[in-house]
Structures are given as C-alpha cells and as structure tokens.
Amino acid sequence: MESFDVVVVGGRCAGSALAIYLARAGARVCLLDKARFPSETPSTHVIQPRGVEILDDLGVLDPVLARGAARLDTLSFVNDDVRIDAALPEDLRCPGLNVRRTVLDHALQQAAASAGVEVRTGCRVAGVRMSADRVVGVETATGPIEAGLVIGADGRGSVVAKSVGAREYLARPAGRIAIWGYFAAGPQEPRIRLGRKGDLGFLASPTDSGLYMAVVGVDCDRAGDFNRDREANFRNALKSWPELDDIVRGAERDGPLRVMANWHSYFRESAGPGWALVGDAGQFKDFFAGQGISDALCQARSLSAAIGSATGSALAQDEATKKWWRARDRSSYDMYWLAMQLGRPGASSPLVSEVLRRIADDPTGGATLLKVINRDVPSTKLFTTPRLLAATFTTLRKYPHRRRETLRDIRTELAAEIEKQRARMRSKTSDGWLPVPVGDAR
C-alpha cells in the first residue's frame, strides 16, 4: 500500500499551505482534493495583510499579483450615517488582497507541487482508515493510502471530521445569507467597503482581472422573499448604498449572482490519535468579517510548526496537535464573536450606532479598527469600557422613550461578552474540555 508521512485531505488555502510548510520541513506529503483546479468555491476573497504575508512566505504572492489580484489598502466602514475611513500604514509588509479562488487556490496548489508535495486532484476521500483507535490513513476511490498523520483540510462538510466523529461546540446559527456578483466596473481605488444600511449588510471590493465584487447580506428570515425576485432585489439593495451603486450601476456582470444560504458558525474537536483538522474543517465563522482565508493560512503555519516540534513517538505528535487545537481556540474567540456581531441580522441598534459614532469621532479609531480586523489587537481596544459606558449613557438620554429596548440591547451585548469569556475560561482548564452538544448550542 502507498504510504506517506502526512496525507492532507483538501487542497485549498488550509490544505495546500500546510502541505507546503510540511514538505519544506522534509515530510513526505500527499495532498488530495476531489475538485479539479482551477475551481471556484463560495467566497468573497478578502485576504487580510496577515494572510498575505503567509502567501508571500509560500511564494504565492507574486504569482497571484501577476494574475491581477487586487491590492487593498483602504477601508470604509459605514453604518447608516456613521462612516469610518482608514488606510493601512505605509510601512506594513503586505497590503490586503482580493483574488478569486479560481486563481488563489490554483496558485497554492502549484506551489505545493513545486515544493515536492504529491498533489492529486479529482481524488475523493471516502473516509479514514483506523487501526484500533488510531487513524492510519485514508480510503480513496483509487485505493487506500497509509499515513502517519491525516489532516482534514476539507472544509465545512469535512469527511475526515465525520469519519472520526469530531463534535461541534459553541455552534451558532447563520444571521444572514450572502448574495454577490462580479462586475466589469473598470479600474477602481484599492478600497474595501464594509457596510450596513438598515437591515442590509454589504461587503464590496475590487478583485482580480479588473472585476469588482459586491455582496449583499440579507437576514435569514427575509431570504425567501428576497430570493423570489433575486435580481431585482439585489439591484434595489445596492441602491441603498449610493457610493456602491455608483460603481456597479451600468457595469456588465460577469456570470450569475452567487448565493450562500446554508451555513452556521462552529468550532469542532480538531485533534485526536493520528488526525487533526485545519481551516474550515475545524472552525467556521460569519464571513462578513473576511477572516476565513487568513485564518486558514495562519493555522496552516502554526499547525505545521506544532507537527514539526513533535519528533519521535506518535504519542508526542498527538499531544502536539491537541495543544495546537486548544491554542487555536483561544486565539479565535475574539474574532468569532466580533464576526457574529458584524453579521448580526436586523438594523443596528441606537446603542451600537452610538458606539460606532464614538469610534468614528476618535482620530485613531479607523487605524484601531484596521488593527482589530487584521487581528493585531483584540476588539477590546476598539470597544473600550469608557466608550461603551459613554455610549450607553448617551443612548439612554437621547432616546428616553426607548429605555426598555436600550436595556435589552445592553443585555444582548453583555451576554455575548460573558459567553466569550466563559469559552476562554473553559479552554484554559486542561481536562475540563467538554464540547457543547450541537443540539444544545443552536
């Protein structure tokens, strides 16, 4: 039977990046993906500077720039009448990027092959092979493959996770569905736009090949109505943000509107004897924060370091991947909840609007927002206690007739904060990890 040190199932940002790092460290790696590349996958392709740095390390930045990837160095965050504009510092090593997955994932796979990884596309993995309680390989349509370690980088529907029975915890339902399209809008400034107008959410940015991508987020409970006449409703939704409408109005659309409706946020048990999960296979969060690709790349780097640190026994490897899983969780909570807040259905409450107004009024607010989105600093640097208290008092004073609603909004924000802190505490207790069963969490 064929045998490798590591078999990685799934060959996009998590899997290809991990395979490259492991191969560079001298491991014999086989990368399997059921898709044939170039291949599209649901995504809006915003990559934070911290993710772009990894693309650079992997030798993939220049090839994707050569294929027309759009650099992003300014952000406009708009919440009804509040606007925050910010520019990335000029001395940052890499800008943000937007490049469609047909281009990015293919370039990553080509880099994996160049690094000596055995890349097999069009190869579906049916499940893992077990020996006693240990994963020892995978079953594919073309036969079994043996491996010292099997990595599931196979996305939200991970077959590796299913085969090993990895449970979900801290799962939360989707707030919105996403509907997006690509427009031949001509040259555009390198600006990402993130917005909320009434109960609609927006994400927009130039992408590769001179195209412009515009996403509309619609509350899940309004999705049925919206989809009844999706084309007209999408156009009307864009009109509620005139600066975005100005860019895409009259521009020819490239392909149909894309829709992402069935999803939820979750963490999954991500390591066990002979296996680990990386990227979306192990954790998925609201995509309006544009974090998944950078997270997948960063996790690939940290997981490869953890695997590399465990030389010797299979037991040492299991310990290292388990430790990595816990560290991944601890570093993920802040953005997990912030992403949920950004993607929360319904219009912004007066309380949230007041907090954002105070950030907009602070000359350093925009720069801090960019640092939070790039995960350089925690969200508490933005949502400081004095700012939250001041916003609460102003809201109570400004809207005396809605005191009850404001108190309810405060309770909602506090409950989210308490949940986050509880998750953080639980992950610190080494043997106290008890995943919340999926049914309880959603």
Ligand X SMILES: Cc1cc2nc3c(=O)[nH]c(=O)nc-3n(C[C@H](O)[C@H](O)[C@H](O)COP(=O)(O)OP(=O)(O)OC[C@H]3O[C@@H](n4cnc5c(N)ncnc54)[C@H](O)[C@@H]3O)c2cc1C
Closest CA to 307 of 22, 67, 53: 22
Among 8, 19, 23, 32, binds ligand X (CB under 6 A): 32
Beta strands in 156-287 (DSSP E): 168-173, 176-184, 191-197, 200-206, 212-219, 252-260, 264-268, 271-272, 275-277, 283-284
Among 6, 64, 153, 306, binds ligand X (CB under 6 A): 153
Q: Is 375 in the site for ligand X (CB under 6 A)?
A: no
Beta strands in 261-347 (DSSP E): 264-268, 271-272, 275-277, 283-284
Structure-token pair, residue 154: 């196979």
How many of the chain's residues bind ligand X (CB under 6 A)? 36
Which helix (DSSP H) or strand (DSSP E) does residue 240 occupy? none
Q: Is 261 in the site for ligand X (CB under 6 A)?
A: no
Site string for ligand X, 280-309 (x = CB under 6 A): xx-----x--xxxxx-x-------------
**Residue span binding ligand X (CB under 6 A) among the ranges 27-35, 264-272, 331-339, 354-362:** 27-35
Whichever of 262 and 430 has its CB closer to ligand X, that residue is: 262
434 to each of 133, 269, 326, 430, how far by Cα in Å?
20, 10, 12, 10
DSSP tag of 325: H
Q: Is 154 in the site for ligand X (CB under 6 A)?
A: yes
Q: Is 15 in the site for ligand X (CB under 6 A)?
A: yes
Structure-token pair, residue 325: 């899983």
Whichever of 379 and 395 has its CB closer to ligand X, that residue is: 379
Dihedral angle computed from the Cα positions of residues 301, 307, 309 and 314, in that order, rounded to the nearest 10 degrees: 180
Q: Is 97 in the site for ligand X (CB under 6 A)?
A: no
Whichever of 86 and 177 has its CB closer to ligand X, that residue is: 177
Residues 112-151 binding ligand X (CB under 6 A) are 124-125
Taking the C-alpha atoms of residue 398 and residue 404, their distance in angstroms, rounded to an integer, is: 13
Site string for ligand X, 168-197 (x = CB under 6 A): ----------x-------------------
| Contacts to ligand X by CB under 6 A | 9-15, 32-35, 41-47, 124-125, 153-155, 159, 178, 260, 279-281, 287, 290-294, 296
